Amino acid sequence: MKTISENKAFGGVQGVYTHMSDACGCEMTFAVYLPPQAQEGPVPCLWYLSGLTCTHENAMTKAGMQAHAAEFGLALVFPDTSPRGDDIANDDAYDLGQGAGFYVNATEAPWGPHFQMETYIASELRDLVTENFAVSVHHGITGHSMGGHGALTLAMKYPGHYQSLSAFAPISNPANSDWGRKQLGAYLGADETLWPAHDASMLLRDKGWVGDVLVDQGADDQFFDLLKASALSDALIETKTAHCYRLQEGYDHSYYFVSTFARDHVAWHAERLKG
């Protein structure tokens, strides 16, 4: 692991790091914020998964989460959204390839050798963070858009890994959306019976979620139809999953929306991770 930068922020430290990933077969970049409380011992950890076209840097610089993490005593982890590099498969479209890993383990060419984002987030990077930073065994996960999809699906697939869950405007039903069918088909192949394992609304009905969940969705989100928000809200009700689903009037899909409600999400996770 190499340190790219470390800057003091709100009494804690915002760092950016790189390492060689066995899962993705390339160098990966990620960011970690340690609040001032980490100087006294391990603190709970909140993972933030970003959306299409993003890197580790978007939420780190735009969401304003460090101030809230310092207030509540949580570490933050900002992974990248895909493997990157000249030798890594890519696509000319913004919604496939580098910057658009969809947090799945790809099985199809040319994506399979490097696009192993599920294993990378849930296993490899988790181990790296817990071994090298002052974080406890209590982890929560959240994310925005494609990252909201990743947060929901990984939490349900790895329930022992995460004790709290939330999402900002998640892609909720990718198996039935143009933001999903293209990517799942490319990464996992044409057999659509494999897709529900990566679809939050379908996965909720299959595996469920052991805790409660907070979801914020902008009512004026320009991508509302692509996100399939109603599919997730219907699944939450049908499965009797405890939840707080908030439709926020006037808000769109941008980081202005995310930053407005970031404190609510950090507080939500802190309450559950700190008991």
Domain residues for the domain of 242 are 2-274
Give the tens place of pLDDT for each residue, 68-94.
999 999 999 999 999 999 999 999 999
**26 vs 113: CA distance, rounded Å:** 10
Catalytic residues: 145, 221, 253
Determine the residue type at 169: A
Confidence at 275, pLDDT banded by 50, 70, 90: confident
pLDDT score recorded for residue 159: 85
Give the tens place of pLDDT for each residue, 102-157.
999 999 999 999 999 999 999 999 999 999 999 999 999 999 999 999 999 999 99
Number of domains making up the chain: 1
Using alpha carbons, select from 93, 240, 101, 243 the residue that is nearest to residue 174. Answer: 101
Torsion of CA 79, 145, 98, 66, to 10 degrees: -30
pLDDT score recorded for residue 2: 98
Contact criterion met (CB below 8 Å) for 2 and 21: no
Which helix (H) or strand (E) segment is 246 a member of? strand 243-248
pTM above the 0.85 mark? yes
pLDDT score recorded for residue 115: 98
CATH number of the domain residue 153 falls in: 3.40.50.1820
